[in-house]
Amino acid sequence: MSTFSLRMQIADNAYFTPHGAELFSREQAEQARNFHQRMPDYRPTPLHSLTAFAAELGVGQVLVKDESQRFGLNAFKILGGAYAIARCVCEKYHFSLEDFSFEQGRAALPESITFATTTDGNHGRGVAGRPKR
């Protein structure tokens, strides 16, 4: 039988301030979740319990997020990119984020818009759009 050991060093973040930023409020998180839930093919991320691993660590539970089915990109990063783009479009054209969808936005936009990102990884692929199936 193998043994597992884990050394951890916990330190305070000297840059942390307890004052919350408006962008990271509960209200903003709920707004983002509501937006994502309106996206076609959105599903909550499934969690898988690693019971044997948790027992080996001596903890009650270990859960792993399974992003392998997320919009064909296998990553959660499409959600952040899509939400940021939606917010930018809604702000520029005075659309309501609560009612916004990319399909309606494409039809209503008076001009073509280009968004760029400096990565071709999961975030970049998320900004580029959902792959065709």
Residues designated catalytic: 77, 120
Give alpha helix (H) positions in 12-50: 26-37
- Of the candidates 95, 97, 102, 120, which has an alpha carbon nearest to the alpha carbon of residue 42? 102
* Cβ contacts of 81-85, under 8 Å, gap ≥ 24: 81/117, 81/123, 81/126, 81/127, 82/35, 82/36, 82/39, 82/126, 83/32, 83/35, 83/36, 85/115, 85/127
